[in-house]
Chain A
């Protein structure tokens, strides 16, 4: 057994001084194995979403509390939860799933304002923030705060009301969670002193109005499962390349192969990108 692993992961005479796993045939097999495993995981996800699926624990109440916390930290008045805006957000999320798009404007040209107006909210100012693929309200707010446009929307004193929708559905054939935030104001923005009054009013309204929320806890969270597997595989290859490079340098073996350092640098990038891409996206 020890001999087998040594042959697989370290350069020696038996593997022509190149870790066996780094041979062309084995690299090719690793690619095929990854592709087959991904199809298997996709099938399990589709057939048994309660076993392996996206874990979501987001409520509009949480989103509102965190949004207002951010607004208060910069001295802007709190937003008040609005049923009509929540209805607009829900309709928007439903429309994105139904017509399979991920954008502020639908393929047929429907803008966010169409959804807000049709909910009966006659705004003077309105705005929309979208997020996709996040598991917690904290992650959504953190991502919105990190994006200048979303942050400006969230913290704008032009808005007084807000509505949220959190919906799970299929987009481009993939199960995902959409978070829609519709912001609005029925009147012209008011002076700063008055905003404080709204902040108080918001606090009393929040607890009562718990609107849309998604709470799904599968046995295995597909996001952490997939990102952990990919990080582990890439880490294994980086370690083997590093070990291979050190041993060959130490033994001063001449061989004509690619530069391990190139591959290590590239795979480090891939590992970092796995961390970035496993998080949700905004638009």
Chain B
């Protein structure tokens, strides 16, 4: 695991930057629509970044694309669940 982390450090660093940026934008905003929009855009970049990474590694498959989309959809559903039930 640590070998992979160091081998792909640039990829993971950029992913962390995307996620931290998403966090900071949501944290510093008091506008609900902007916060939701930020979560959607961050999720989109997470999916895109994951796909690009697998593409660079030459191990991209439809199954992997679907997996990233499903995890992204799961994350967005969690946010929808929270906002629609609180």
Contacts and interface: CB of A to CB of B under 8 A. Distances in A.
Given A265-B16, A269-B19, A258 B77 contact: no
A133 interface: yes
Contacts of A54: 86
Interface in B44-86: 46, 49-50, 53-54, 59, 61, 63-64, 66-68, 70-75, 77-86
Contact of B81 (A38, A237, A246, A272): A38
Would you call the interface of chain A mostly helix, strand, loop, or mixed? helix
A270 B85 contact: no
Given A278-B86, A283-B31, A27 B64 contact: no
Contacts of B85: 38, 41-42, 45, 222, 225-226
Interface in A248-283: 249, 256-259, 261-263, 265-270, 272-274, 276-278, 281-283
Chain A, interface size: which category?
35 or more
B79 A277 contact: yes
A267 B50 CA distance: 14
Interface residues of B, number: 46
B78 A262 contact: no
A187 B7 CA distance: 68
Contacts of A226: 81-82, 85-86
A263 B63 contact: no
A147 B30 CA distance: 9
Contact of A34 (B4, B23, B72, B78): B78
Contacts of A268: 19
Given A222-B86, A258-B71, A265-B15, A273 B64 contact: no
Contacts of A245: 1
B71 A230 contact: no
A234 interface: yes
Contacts of B80: 34-35, 38
Contacts of A24: 63, 66-67, 70
B63 A269 contact: no
B64 A274 contact: no
B32 A34 contact: no
Contacts of A118: none
Contacts of B70: 24, 27-28, 31
B84 A38 contact: yes
Contacts of B74: 27, 30-31, 34, 237
A258 B78 contact: no
A114 interface: no
A257 B61 CA distance: 9
Contact of B26 (A38, A277, A283): A277
B41 interface: no
Contacts of B63: 24, 256-257
Nearest to A225: B85
Interface in B1-41: 1, 4-5, 12, 15-16, 19, 22-23, 26-27, 30-32, 35, 39
Q: Which 10 A-B pairs have the closest CB atoms?
A: A226-B85, A282-B30, A27-B70, A258-B67, A270-B75, A41-B85, A38-B81, A223-B86, A269-B19, A226-B86
Interface of A: 24, 27-28, 30-31, 34-35, 37-38, 41-42, 45, 54, 102, 133, 147, 174, 222-223, 225-227, 229-230, 233-234, 237, 245-246, 249, 256-259, 261-263, 265-270, 272-274, 276-278, 281-283
